[in-house]
Amino acid sequence: MALSELSYAEAAALALQHEMEADANVVVLGEDVGRGGIFGQYKGLQQRFGTERVIDTPISEAAIMGAGVGMALAGLRPVVEMRVVDFALCGMDELVNQAAKNRFMFGGQGRVPLVARMPGGIWDASAAQHSQSLEAWFAHLPGVVVVSPATPQDNYSLLRAALRCGDPVVYIEHKALWGVRGEVNTAQVATLGQAARLRDGDGFTLVSWGKQLQMCAAACDTLAADGIAVDLLDLRTLWPWDREAVLASCGRTRKLLVVHEAVQAAGFGAEIAATAAEATGCKVARLGAPRIPVGYAPVLEAQSRVSAEQIVAAARKLVG
């Protein structure tokens, strides 16, 4: 067992290093990866593995994603860096119409085992085109896996699991988590589609993912002072999502609140709430951002954030 305290970015770089050492077919391509990436998530990798495995590309997301799909079909396991999820929209045809559908359209003869890293979420003072949470788009897309790590440990373990998946993975790291530090056990193995229980309680079930878990944890502390014990689940993987864990909790607590940073309208929380209501008959509630672009000015940006206070208010209304 190797334990280290690492940042979210350092954990990702270490996971890639270990996978690249174990499998010569793992390669990286994207803008600025040679200098470590804009968040340091590739730091030192080009120096260790060379320019043929850590490849700096032109500024063309369509070309980067297209090249990654071709590499994957040829037998490599590419990590495709999109810088931020907002920029990945320029490469959507290659992901949606090629990577996601190839295995199905060609009877399993083609596989596209790429990991598309698309940092998402609100990035302080970065405005509408750099602060989107688009995970529901990809969860809606047949043929891809969607992952959202919330901690350095998960960013290490889930990235390694994603690289071994065999199917295209949309890997959404939160833009505001790169500097967060935590203990990382490099022997810990993650399973895609398996949620993590962060707190145990019978008051109600609270489901979230990514950075929003920080606000959920703060809300749980406030609710605990009121005598409300929360069953807090970190979904970790949006597709496949851990129906068994969520439904078991909802069946026990009979109440569910789903919270996400993404816009609430048509957000992935609706899928979880509807499934839980249909399967268990529990009382459900959702909490997400309003359907507005993220503003640049702090006072406008704050309107798109889901605060711990809002979670507490929604929880109190839910439990009645």
| pLDDT at res. 20 | 98
Backbone angles phi, psi at 241, to 5 degrees: -100, 155
| pLDDT at res. 3 | 82
- The one catalytic residue in 18, 130, 140, 260 is 130
Class of domain 196-319: alpha beta
Q: Which residue intervals of the chain bear CATH 3.40.50.920?
A: 196-319
- Decide: 142 and 100 in contact? Cβ < 8 Å: yes
Q: pTM here?
A: 0.96
Q: What are the residues facing 208 on neighbouring strands? A: 234
Q: Which residue intervals of the chain bear CATH 3.40.50.970?
A: 3-185
Residues 6+ apart with CB under 8 A from 196: 154, 233, 234, 236
The CA distance from 178 to 181, in Å, is: 8
Active site residue 130: yes
Dihedral-angle region of residue 44 (phi above 0 means left; psi in -120 to 50 means alpha; beta otherwise) = left
Q: 132: which 2 tokens?
A: 């989107």
The CA distance from 236 to 193, in Å, is: 7
- Decide: 80 and 46 in contact? Cβ < 8 Å: no
Q: Domain 3-185, what fold?
A: Rossmann fold (3.40.50)
The CA distance from 99 to 93, in Å, is: 9
| pLDDT at res. 1 | 57
Q: Tens place of pLDDT for every residue, the chain, 320 residues? A: 578 999 999 999 999 999 999 999 999 999 999 999 999 999 999 999 999 999 999 999 999 999 999 999 999 999 999 999 999 999 999 999 999 999 999 998 999 999 999 999 999 999 999 999 999 999 999 999 999 999 999 999 999 999 999 999 999 999 999 999 999 999 999 999 999 999 999 999 999 999 999 999 999 999 999 999 999 999 999 999 999 999 999 999 999 999 999 999 999 999 999 999 999 999 999 999 999 999 999 999 999 999 999 999 999 999 98
The kind and range of the H/E element at 216 are helix 212-225
